Structure 1
Amino acid sequence: MNGNDGTRVQVTLRVHRFTPRPERDRPRSGSPFAKQGSPFGSGTARRRPRGKQWTQDYLLSVLPDTTILDCLLDIKRTQDPSLAFRYSCGHGMCGSDAVAINGTPTLLCTAKVKDWAVAQTARNATDAEGFRKTTGTDDDPADNAADVSGTSGVSSAHDGSPLVIELSALPGFPVQRDLIADIDPMLEQIKRLKPYLQADGKLATTKDGKIDVFEYLQRPEQLAAYETLSNCIACGVCEGSCPVFAGGEAFIGPAALITASRFINDSRDTAADARMDAIDAADGIAACQSVRACSRHCPRGIDVGEEIWQLIAKVKER
């Protein structure tokens, strides 16, 4: 069955919760990893908030095709109104609901129970040497998930052990409350790179002196050079997957580099050299280690690692 026949499964959402303490005023020092005078360093470190941390389980009976966002909304309505998480459109277009599901950064609104529910015994299983076993590859969460679409309504991939989905805030960012991460460092880095079209300001005119409305027309190949990059929704999934990025001080981060690449590749933009100068810094493209973890779970299908590699080559070949 495909999970839409009314057969429900019992699943536990294990949420890593956090409630911050009131902050005290104290001087803040710059990040020891950020280059002094860097255009990307804010000059002050964004202290990670301190507070109460705990793990809380919520048991639900849901259809396998239910999104994890809908699960959280159900919990907030019927079990725990204090649970905090962020979302907006609910259709994978705004990127506001990025979290870590079973340790993997992704969007709540596009993740389904059947793709992420894992048998508790599988999560806790260890091999003869005491290491935790893995049941699949991280590249395909479905390989790690139990099969909850069987006719019995219970996972056919385990022996009746409870199904669990583990949720935590997006990695790489300070946690504000529960599943809400502070993504302002990422947005500030994007803003510093002037994420808007910069033309020369001169209006072309026709022979009779009128404004040429066709001045900025592009050929299909010119549009194709940046069209995929314009699909970025700044959700932070690539930043949460990047082992180098941690709050935007030591590395500008893949989201900002993708934004820069989008305009560098736009034939209408006249600031390409200035944009490449801005990212050609120790905590710009030089900090990228080409791990390419940023490419693995982009919800918009952008091969972030490959695009950054192409951008690095373009900067170095100037």
Structure 2
Amino acid sequence: MTNTTVTLQVHRFAPRPERDRGSSPFARTSSPFGSSGERRRRPRGKQWVQEYTLEARPEDTVLDCLLTIKRTIDPTLAFRYSCGHGMCGSDAASVNGTPTLLCTATLKDWAKPCVPGSATDDEGFRSTGEPGAGTVSATEHSETGGRNLGVIELAALPGFPVQRDLIADIDPMLEQIKKLKPFLQADGVLATTKGGKVDVFEYLQHPDELARYEQLSNCIACGVCEGSCPVFAGGDAFIGPAALISASRFINDSRDSAAQARLDAIDTADGVPACQSVRACTRECPRGIDVGEEMWQIVAKVRER
């Protein structure tokens, strides 16, 4: 059986230890105006690109390769994952410059051709192969009966502060989603039957009503649309497509009675008006949501009020 290898070029980051500022009587640990007025400081630390070459199959995912590296080559490599099946969204990262999920990105789809002699050079790359072996270029490996699938470049999800290696701090996105109250707000009036009992079909919906928001409810808040958006910068300048999708999910729900209040909440300088309709947020949604189209729809709803 012919062995195949792949080379991962990982943009790594090790944060610098924070200095203890509590000893100074003039130090301030929080803003007197609340956390919403604070700007997150960009983490400082060491940045470098490290290369790993390992045996892998074309159908393996990038996450499979990272787990192999973590377990057998370099235990210091940091990345985030949970279910490993594209359902939780915790492993979102940049693959060849495109935000996507590591657990759904297969080598055959993402590996770029490896130029002979360029896999290992003195341009700042650290080469890490199998124990006791150096990095093998595509040409050298083909001479030994194997095949190099190519090179894949990995980095943390764009638009967010990097915590370590491939782990991005997505708290800014989650905070924006929370601001828009991502839960059903009914009118609070219990429907009753003629006999005076609670009507268990109080929230019964027609299939057409369900279709208006069903696809939007599949959002897993992975941050891929945020990382693809050139406007979103991880702060309050733009609330971001993920938060707007969350709001739209309830605005389109016939059971929700707070649609006007939700539209008011996103009709602000950092809300819908900040969207530039680039539609880059649609390209790699792992749940198949046409984010760009939904953004256009919600922009239209705000303007029609």
TM category (shorter chain) comes to 0.7 to 0.9
1:16 is matched with 11
**How far did residue 208 of structure 1 move?**
1.2
1:148 is matched with none
AA matched with 1:240 = G
1:78 is matched with 72
**How far did residue 241 of structure 1 move?**
0.3
TM-score computed with the length of structure 2 as normaliser: 0.85
Alignment of 1:233 with 2:220, yes or no, is yes
1:177 is matched with 164
Q: Write the mapping of 1:134-213 to structure 2, written as runs, cut at 5 A.
A: 154=147, 163-213=150-200
Alignment of 1:119 with 2:113, yes or no, is yes
2:135 is matched with none
**How far did residue 27 of structure 1 move?**
5.3
Identify which of 64, 88, 97 aligns with 2:58.
64
1:138 is matched with none
2:254 is matched with 267
1:49 is matched with 43
Measure, in 2, the Cα distance between the counterparts of 1:226 and 1:213: 22
Aligned residues: 271
- Identify if the C-alpha distance between structure 1 residues 213 and 18 changes in structure 2 by more than 3 Å, giving closer, same or farther: same
**How far did residue 121 of structure 1 move?**
3.0
SS at structure 1 position matched to 2:93: strand
1:106 is matched with 100
Structure 1 unaligned segments of length 5 or more: list them: 1-5, 31-36, 125-151, 156-161
**How far did residue 42 of structure 1 move?**
1.8
Structure 2 unaligned segments of length 5 or more: list them: 22-26, 119-144
**How far did residue 8 of structure 1 move?**
3.5
Q: CA RMSD in A?
A: 2.1
1:286 is matched with 273
> Is 2:39–2:235's contact at 8 Å kept on the other side of the alignment?
no
Measure, in 2, the Cα distance between the counterparts of 1:19 and 1:316: 45
Measure, in 1, the Cα distance between the counterparts of 2:43 and 2:268: 29
Q: Percent identity?
A: 75
Alignment of 1:218 with 2:205, yes or no, is yes
Measure, in 2, the Cα distance between the counterparts of 1:172 and 1:27: 27
Measure, in 1, the Cα distance between the counterparts of 2:98 and 2:60: 19
> Is 1:238–1:297's contact at 8 Å kept on the other side of the alignment?
yes
TM-score computed with the length of structure 1 as normaliser: 0.81
